[in-house]
Chains A and B, each alone.
Chain A
Amino acid sequence: MAKTKIPNPDELGKIDYTPPKKHWMDIPVEIKPDMYCHGAKAKSLKVVDFPNARDWTPAEADWKLPEDWKKIVLEGISERLKKYRTFHVFMDICVRCGACADKCHFFLGSGDPKNMPVLRAELLRSVYRKYFTTGGKIFGKTAGARELTLDVLKEWWYYFYQCTECRRCSLFCPYGIDQAEITIIGRELMNLLGLNIEWIAGPTANCYMKGNHLGLEPHTIKSTIDFFVNDIEDITGVKVEPTFNRKGAEILFITPSGDLFADPGIYTAMGYLMLFHELGLDYTWSTYASEGGNFGFFTSNEMAKRLHSKIYAEAKRLGVKWILGGECGHMWRVWHQYHNTWFGPMDFLEEPVSPITGTKFANAKSTKVVHLVEFTADLIKHGKLKLDPSRNDNLVVTFHDSCNTSRGMGFFEEPRYVIKNVCNHFHEMPDDTIRERTFCCGSGSGLNASENMELRMRGGFPRANAVKFVHEKHGVNMLANICAIDRAALPPLMDYWVPGVRVTGTHELVANALVMKGEKERTVNLRNEPLPEKGGDSDV
């Protein structure tokens, strides 16, 4: 964060929402520094056999496109109109009512009219009109139609990588027009020309070959987790014993690799390890299917399927009964809304049952994948965990709903139930900024790079603004979430807009409160900070 030279918060917070005088079609795209990510490298695209793999620079005029790029794009559109009713209908029925306009965090944080979801869609829709509708062919610009030119293509690239596919616009649209879906298809079209960003293409290539976005090799995964094991022993006196690629385990556990890498995600991973140990769960990690997240999903639907097929291949190979998934946002959108279609029927697995409480996860009976937070909520409900929430008494917590689990699943009460059972001080952000109306962290859908920091701070402005509200009103100092990208993206956002608020995964909170069998008297939390004094500031 510190490396960037973006304006200070006071400056950045002065946002003008008045649209320019000129018609948007007459304003050529300007690729602004700090607002975009590096172009995908040749080597990353080659790993997954993507077309037009070459090194290129978005800021340069020559994007090194194939001769017939226009034909490729138009054929790509035509093919997708026939394949996706969403795309076809969404291209036709927008009435430009503007209900979605100020729902997008990127618009609210930048004031750029092309970040209004309706205009983001029009960027592509205008080309659709020109080549696929009679009115557009005859009336041209009057009908909102325009030619596909290099400038238009660049504009698509710039703005489709300024959409985090959060679906907030879709919630308010009277016809459910989902700009996330249009962005997904727009990015697919970009990828026909090798126009990905490296922050997505690199992790995708890593994940394809090595099993996870970070490119951790099997022995590194093991040694990383061994570190956690040592830390846990230091803190609790309990030695947890995870296993890897173990055949015959009852449960395969998969989480985003981000949890293995950086602070504060690693504390969440330690939380998983402690919880599973305490339960005596018969589970295994996999080094082959070592990624729950899916940057392929930010590339093309086909690439998403290619990455996640590992999960079921591995479940089959190891002979597990069912799959447990860690805390992550987009991972759960894909697991929940796409897996069953891509990989079903999962008849080699069994209907998941909690070995501790006997609860049947009826809502996951077909895919056999259970969300860890569901699993934990059920444990708490049945009184199976010994918890001491006072260990989290130094924290005043609020919860950030991830876009994907909110508007692609509806996962609201489960995490709240868990958090309220492990923390004594919890306050909600304002109603219009949580649950289904939640605001994005500003860095989702593969945009959590470092070279686009201004974009991220702008996009995260509405979220940060709501945190600031509870920070000032209730003294909130901890932002809990259930998403690995949040854990990576929110800390710099908080440092920028709301200094004094830190970020945590939900299972870090659980593990701090969890009283383990045979543990020593704990003096520090997972971050090695002293625990709050007993009976101390309990009425914050």
Chain B
Amino acid sequence: MGLGLSLTAVIALILLVFAGVKGANLHLLFGAVIPYAAFIIFTIGVIYRVVKWGRSPVPFRIPTTGGQENSFPWIKQNKFDNPSTTSGVIVRMLLEVFAFRSLFRLTKSELKDGKLVHGSDKWLWLAGLAFHWCFLIILIRHLRFFTQNVPFVIQLFEALDAFFQVGVPLLYLTDIFLVGAVTYLFLRRVVFPQVKYISLAADYFPLLLILSIAVTGILMRYFIRVDIVGVKQLTMGLVTFSPVASESIGVIFYIHVFLVSVLFAYFPFSKLMHMGGVLLSPTRNLANNNRMVRHINPWDYPVHVHTYEEYENDFREKMKKAGIPVEKE
């Protein structure tokens, strides 16, 4: 469900730009107004969502422990999968965010002749990691469009990314990996029956959107020439708040920019917020030290209990008969 709808939506978005830029000459709208709006929605939206989560307190410290706890000195603790200190938690979170530690554990269980067999399954981990890292690097590379003199760090990224020095213009590895990874992530939703069964439009849409963004980007860089001077003029104009949208740039650029804008604007309303959520996830970001350090529940309240006195009143005679000491004879 939702695949057709998502596909239609992405195609409609592309056609919209086509009509808007080619037909109605709305260069400034697509080149500046919409990107600005998207950026504002993104920033405010993300902050709003994170603040809203943050306002729900964490009443209990319930990390999911993934290894040996802190015990006697002679028992080796798994400090990162079951941290008992803040520094341990920081490492756990870094591993989670930058290396997808939990996904790395992934297994696949299959039934063979009545027996369940569990095997390691790293594909999702690999594709997920490749996708996120490439996306980040590509994003950083794009900063060259927003700075007058391209900073050294960005140049370094570019150089590394084009390590093999093939093609004119130089081929970026991240471009290939990104498309490959997104394609895998998309295909598994269509091919694996269980994943297909749980997938929603909200799962296909961002994948197709990102794939379209990548493809338009690649087309622009390697195949369809755009007026690069015009592009830089526009992007620099955006950061200096004096955008000039040139008509000579080529519609493919506007499509690319518009899809990116949609992605940004869509972000805070969607599951893409998992980026912020993982940092706030109480099963991961807390130390397993409950018996050492008390965790406070801000809304804790007194509860009704059955007191010892009431208990003894119920059973005093029976207790006395059995020789169990009582408070009141």
A interface residues (Cβ-Cβ under 8 A, vs B): 10, 13-15, 17-19, 23-24, 49, 81-90, 92-99, 101-103, 108, 113, 116, 118-119, 122, 134-135, 139, 142-144, 167, 170-178, 181, 208-211, 217-219, 222-223, 244-247, 287-288, 301-302, 305-306, 309-310, 313-314, 317, 336-342, 344-345, 359, 362-367, 369, 374, 377-378, 381, 406-414, 417, 430, 432-433, 435-437, 461-462, 465-466, 468-469
Contact = CB atoms under 8 A, between A and B. Distances in A.
A92 B278 CA distance: 11
Given A93-B277, A407-B64, 7 more contacts: A19-B193, A86-B282, A92-B53, A143-B201, A176-B102, A340-B290, A345-B294
29 contacts: A89-B280, A94-B271, A96-B195, A97-B124, A99-B103, A108-B116, A116-B198, A122-B198, A143-B202, A174-B278, A176-B96, A178-B64, A217-B315, A218-B319, A219-B315, A244-B325, A245-B324, A338-B60, A341-B297, A366-B291, A369-B291, A410-B65, A412-B67, A413-B68, A430-B118, A462-B116, A465-B115, A465-B116, A466-B116
Contacts of A374: 71-72
Contact of A134 (B81, B196, B269, B307): B269
Nearest to B306: A208
Does more than half of chain A's interface fall in helix, strand or loop, or is it mixed? helix
A395 to B, nearest CB: 24
A13 B116 CA distance: 10
Interface stretch (B105-113, B163-171, B255-263): B105-113
Interface in B1-41: 1-2, 5
A366 B1 CA distance: 52
B291 A433 contact: no
A359 B300 CA distance: 34
A82 B67 CA distance: 31
Contacts, number: 315
Contacts of A95: 203, 271, 274
B296 A341 contact: yes
Contact of B59 (A84, A98, A363, A410): A84
B192 interface: yes
B139 interface: no
Contact of B56 (A88, A178, A246, A465): A88
Interface residues of B, number: 102
A89 B198 contact: no
A363 B307 contact: no
Nearest to A306: B303
B203 A222 contact: no
A184 to B, nearest CB: 10
Contact of A340 (B49, B203, B291): B291
B90 interface: no
Given A364-B291, A414-B71, A462-B116, A306 B106 contact: no
Instruction: Output the residue of B66, B84, B96, B288 with the most chain A CB within 10 A.
Output: B66
B72 to A, nearest CB: 7
Nearest to A49: B304
Interface of B: 1-2, 5, 49, 52-62, 64-72, 74-76, 78, 81-82, 84, 96, 100, 102-103, 105-109, 111, 114-116, 118-119, 124, 128, 188, 192-203, 269-271, 273-274, 277-278, 280-284, 288-297, 299-300, 303-308, 311-312, 314-315, 318-319, 321-325
A310 B319 contact: no
A409 B288 contact: yes
A223 B198 contact: no
B60 A17 contact: no
B273 A92 contact: yes
B304 A306 contact: yes
Contacts of A119: 197-198
Given A96-B198, A116-B194, A223-B322, A366 B292 contact: yes
Contact of A363 (B69, B116, B198): B69
A306 B103 CA distance: 38
A181 B283 contact: yes
Given A102-B109, A175-B277, A338-B60, A19 B322 contact: no
Given A83-B57, A95-B274, A413-B71, A171 B105 contact: yes
A95 B202 CA distance: 9
Contacts of A407: 64-66
Contacts of A302: 303
Contacts of B325: 244-247
Contacts of B293: 340, 366
Q: Which 10 A-B pairs have the closest CB atoms?
A: A410-B69, A93-B277, A176-B283, A219-B322, A410-B65, A432-B118, A19-B197, A176-B284, A93-B274, A410-B82
A317 B318 contact: no
Contact of A18 (B193, B199, B277, B288): B193
Contact of A86 (B62, B274, B290, B319): B62
A298 to B, nearest CB: 15
A306 B252 CA distance: 65
Given A219-B321, A337-B62, A178 B283 contact: yes
A85 B53 contact: yes
A414 B64 contact: no
A410 B68 contact: yes
Contact of A142 (B5, B65, B74, B198): B5
A331 B197 CA distance: 36
A175 B279 CA distance: 8
Contact of B283 (A170, A336, A365): A170
Contact of A101 (B194, B201, B295): B194
A421 to B, nearest CB: 13
B56 A82 contact: yes
A454 B55 CA distance: 43
B60 A175 contact: no
Instruction: Output the residue of A85, A167, A172 with the most chain B CB within 10 A.
Output: A85
Contacts of B66: 171, 407, 410, 436
Contacts of B2: 142
Contacts of B291: 336, 340, 363-367, 369
Contacts of A339: 290
Contacts of B199: 96
Contacts of B284: 175-176
A357 to B, nearest CB: 11
A436 B283 contact: no
Contacts of B1: 23, 142
B294 to A, nearest CB: 4
A287 B114 contact: no
Given A113-B197, A142-B2, A17 B111 contact: yes
A84 B56 contact: yes
A218 B198 contact: no
Contacts of B124: 97-99
Contacts of A466: 116
Contacts of B116: 108, 461-462, 465-466
A225 B67 CA distance: 36
Contact of A305 (B108, B296, B303): B303
Given A15-B111, A82-B56, A381 B305 contact: no
B273 A142 contact: no
Contacts of A317: 308
A101 B198 contact: yes
Nearest to B188: A98
A175 B278 contact: yes
Contacts of B194: 17, 19, 98, 101-102, 113, 116
A439 B181 CA distance: 32
A337 B281 contact: no
